[in-house]
Amino acid sequence: MDRLDRIYRLHQILKSARYPVSRARLASALECSESTVYRVRDALLTHFGAPVESEKGTGRLYYPRKEAESFELPGLWFNASELHALVTAEKLLADIQPGILREELEPLHRRLRKIMDHRHLGGGELAHRVRILTMADRPVNAVVFRTVADALIQRRRLAINYDPRSHSAAGQREVSPQRLTRYRDNWYLDAWCHRREGLRSFSLDRIIQAIPLPDSAREIDDAELNRELATAYGIFAGEPGNTAVLRFEPERARWIADETWHPRQQGRWLDDGRFELRIPYGNPTELVLDILRYGDEVEVVEPQPLRSAVAEKLKRAAARYREGG
């Protein structure tokens, strides 16, 4: 959390608190020492004229109720995550799959615009000044998206004609929709497949046709959904049964150390300046592709099957360039 985030967070806490707040609680919320809390308080007082007061005897901080109701920080006060969420929402409504659920989402779009106008961001200035780049976005049929979304909300089963990329034959599936997932700029349907008798993720751009069925969808507990679809590496289902140990060269390590590849990853710096990353995974397909992006800047230490798979891919690539040269 940087200095501006702490100023903003302290203002939020004091504005909403009904009673004076202790230094220990503020230090925890601001992720800093108690002495830093006072420096943040001084910045609020000196630079923004905030009505911060200290309770006699305890040093706890508070805004007097009357001043708290009227005082606001000037201009745009979003932290990084709030700014990203706001602009992403605006971009999703304006750019992603134009025409999909346009009528249903228009009231939300208008409300978001009001929020932005209230923050002195009218005329689309925020969306104009902040870029969110998408890569490899695959378009989804608007009718398919609407049908899937309707079945998801109404808790009804779907009959889908699905054309997977893993093989050429399209086929019929009966599924119970559980949730929509936006992952790496593409849409997926997490659903119970009644043919496979298990949870699967279906890429929406590969659903040729979706037909709503009268039968109620099978309900899957959130804990099971997360265990099956949120613990593996990437978009693949299943619990991770392996742990990849990757070691990145010093130049690349400075970036990797700040990245999150998996919620349960573990990382540590090595004495020679490399960074070791441990990542749980099940299906290695997506992990192999991500590893290959770093070429000679990463080494797969273990497990051996993953190391061999990456080595074989690199050998084939090198052979192709030798043949072409």
3-state secondary structure 70-116: HCCCCCCCCCHHHHHHHHHHHHHHHCCCCCCCHHHHHHHHHHHHHHH
Q: What is the pLDDT of residues 17-33, one digit of tens each?
A: 888 999 899 999 998 99
End-to-end CA distance of the chain: 50
CA dihedral 80, 82, 84, 87 (to 10 degrees): -140
- Residues 146, 213, single domain; the answer is yes
Q: Which residue has the higher pLDDT, 275 or 124?
A: 275
Note the pLDDT of residue 125.
59
Domain that holds residue 271: 242-324
Domain termination site, one of 196, 224, 252: 224
- Residues 49, 87, single domain; the answer is no
Q: At 196, which CATH number?
A: 2.30.30
- Residues 158, 210, single domain; the answer is yes
Q: Where are the alpha helices (DSSP H) in the chain?
A: 3-16, 23-30, 34-48, 65-70, 80-94, 102-118, 125-129, 142-154, 222-229, 250-256, 285-292, 304-324
Domain termination site, one of 30, 51, 70: 70
- What is the CB-side half-sphere exposure of residue 40 using CA atoms within 13 A? 27
Q: What is the pLDDT of residues 164-216, one digit of tens each?
A: 877 667 789 999 999 998 888 889 999 999 999 999 999 999 999 999 999 99
- Residues 66, 85, single domain; the answer is no
Residue 297 pLDDT more than 90?
yes
The position carrying tokens 């192999």 is 288
Residue 135 pLDDT more than 50?
yes
Q: Is 237 a member of any domain?
A: no
d(CA 151, CA 162): 16
Q: Is 158 a member of any domain?
A: yes
- Residues 98, 159, single domain; the answer is no
- Residues 216, 283, single domain; the answer is no
- Total domain count for the chain? 4
Whether the upstream peptide bond of residue 303 has omega within 30° of 0, thus cis, is: yes
For the chain, give me the number of helices (H) and strands (E)?
12, 11
Note the pLDDT of residue 226.
87
Q: Residue 123: pLDDT band by 50, 70, 90 thresholds?
A: very low
Find residue 269's DSSP bridge partners.
275
Note the pLDDT of residue 318.
92
Q: Is 15 a member of any domain?
A: yes
Domain termination site, one of 224, 257, 286: 224
What's the mean pLDDT in 228-249?
A: 88
